[in-house]
Amino acid sequence: MTDASTPSADRLAAILAFLDEANRLKDTLRSGRTPEGRQESTAEHSWRLCLLAILLSDELKGVDMLKLVKLCIVHDLGEAISGDVPAVDQRAGDDRAARERADLVTLCAPLPADLSAEMVALWDDYAAAASPEAVMAKGLDKIETMLTHSTGRNGNDFDYRFNLGYGLEATGRHPLLAALRAPIDARHRAILERRAAD
C-alpha cells in the first residue's frame, strides 16, 4: 500500500535503473593518484569535491549550498559513458563538452522527465559557470584536482608545472577560490624544487 507521499513503483524503478548506470562512474578512472598510488575514480573526485564544498559552507555567503552540492555531484556524471579526459590532453575545439552533455542525456534517459531535466539543467549551469553556485563548483573542481595532484603518489613523469597554470580563470573568479589555490600552488612549487634538487 502506498500513500500520496510515496513515489510510484515505476518512478522508483526508473531511479534505480539510472543509479545502476551512474554506478559506472566508480570505474571511470582519472589521471590523479591516491596517496597510495592507485588511480582515483571520477566518483571519488566528485565525493571529495562535495566534501570540500560542505566544509566551506560558512564562508559561502549568498550561495545555495544544496544547489552547489548538486552541481558538484552532476558535473562529471557524463564521464560514466565516455570516460575522463585528463586536463593535459584537453584541447580547444575538441567537442568534449558537447560529448559529455550528450553522454549525460543518455545516462539520464531512464529517469522520469522531471528528474532528467533537472540533471541536465544542473550540468548546463555548471558548464556556463554563470550562477554563483556554478562559479564556485567550477573553481572548487579545479582546486580538488590540484589538491589530489599535490598529495597523490604520482609517477616520475608527472607534470607538476602544468598545475601552476591549470584552471586559473576558474579559480580567479572568487577571493575564496584564490585563497585556496595559493597554498596548493605553493605545494606544487615545493615539489618542483625538490625534484630539481635531486
Q: What is the CATH number of the domain that holds 90?
A: 1.10.3210.10
Classify 41 as helix, strand or coil: strand
Instruction: Check residue 96 and give its pLDDT.
Output: 82
Percent of the chain with pLDDT over 90: 83
Within a domain: residue 124? yes
| Overall number of domains in the chain | 1
Instruction: Check residue 138 and give its pLDDT.
Output: 97
Q: Which long-range contacts (CB under 8 A, 24 or more apart) does 60-69 make?
A: 60/136, 60/176, 62/132, 63/132, 63/133, 63/136, 64/132, 64/133, 67/122, 67/131, 67/133, 68/133, 68/136, 68/137
What is the helix (H) or strand (E) element at residue 40, kind and residue range? strand 39-41
C-alpha cell at position 152: 597523490
Percent of the chain with pLDDT over 70: 97
**2-44 pLDDT per residue, tens:** 566 899 999 999 999 999 999 999 999 998 999 999 999 999 9
Instruction: Check residue 186 and give its pLDDT.
Output: 97
Instruction: Check residue 84 and give its pLDDT.
Output: 83
**Is pLDDT at 87 greater than 80 in this prediction?**
no
Average pLDDT over residues 46-54: 98
Q: In angstroms, rounded to a whole number, what is the distance separating the alpha carbons of residues 163 and 161? A: 5
Structural domain harbouring 31? 9-197
**Is pLDDT at 88 greater than 80 in this prediction?**
no
Instruction: Check residue 85 and give its pLDDT.
Output: 77
Within a domain: residue 1? no
**147-195 pLDDT per residue, tens:** 999 999 998 888 999 999 999 999 999 999 999 999 999 999 999 999 8
The residue length of the chain stands at 198
Cβ 69 vs Cβ 53: under 8 Å:
yes
Assign 1 a pLDDT band (cuts: 50, 70, 90): very low
Within a domain: residue 3? no
Average per-residue pLDDT for the chain: 93
Instruction: Check residue 94 and give its pLDDT.
Output: 75
C-alpha cell at position 194: 625538490
Q: In angstroms, rounded to a whole number, what is the distance separating the alpha carbons of residues 45 and 144? A: 7
Average pLDDT over residues 77-84: 91
